[in-house]
Amino acid sequence: MSALLVRGLGKTYADGTEALRGVDVHVGEGEIVAILGGSGCGKTTLLRLIAGLDEASAGTIAVTGENTVISAVFQEPRLLPWLTAEANVAFGGRRLGAAQRQDRTQSLLRRIGLAGYGKRWPRELSGGQQQRVAIARALIGHPGVLLLDEPFSALDGFTRASLHDLLLDLWRELQPTVLMVTHDIEEAVVLADRIVVMRPHPGRVQETLRVGLPRPRDRLAPEFDLVKRTALRAVNRSLAPPPEPHRTGPGVSPWL
Partner 1 sequence: MRRGAWLGLLIPLVLAVAWELAVRHGLASGRLMPPPSRLAQTARALSRSGELQMHVLATTQRVCVGFAIGAAAGTVLAMLNGASGLTLRLLDPSVQALRAIPSIAWVPLFILWLGIFETSKLALIALGVFFPVYLGLLTAIQSVDRKLIEVGRVFGLSRTEIALRVTWPAVMPAWIAALRTGLGLGFMFVVAAELMGASEGLGYLLLDGQQMGRADTILVAMIVFAVLGKTADSLLVVASRPVLRWQDTHRLRL
CB of 81 to partner 1, least distance (A): 6
CB of 240 to partner 1, least distance (A): 34
CB of 141 to partner 1, least distance (A): 8
Is-contact 92 46, C-beta < 8 A? no
3-state secondary structure of 239: helix
Looking at the Cβ atoms of 94 and 246, the one nearer to partner 1 is: 94
Q: 3-state DSSP helix/strand/coil percent for the chain, to nearest 5?
A: 35, 25, 40
Looking at the Cβ atoms of 141 and 176, the one nearer to partner 1 is: 141
Q: CA–CA separation, 89 vs 152, rounded Å?
A: 18
3-state secondary structure of 69: coil
CB of 51 to partner 1, least distance (A): 5
Note the residues at the interface with partner 1 (CB under 8 A): 51-53, 69-72, 74, 76, 78, 80-83, 91-92, 94-95, 121, 123, 141
Looking at the Cβ atoms of 52 and 113, the one nearer to partner 1 is: 52
Looking at the Cβ atoms of 9 and 72, the one nearer to partner 1 is: 72
Is-contact 65 1, C-beta < 8 A? yes
CB of 130 to partner 1, least distance (A): 13
Q: CA–CA separation, 92 vs 76, rounded Å?
A: 16
Looking at the Cβ atoms of 67 and 208, the one nearer to partner 1 is: 67
Tell me which amino acid residue 195 is: I
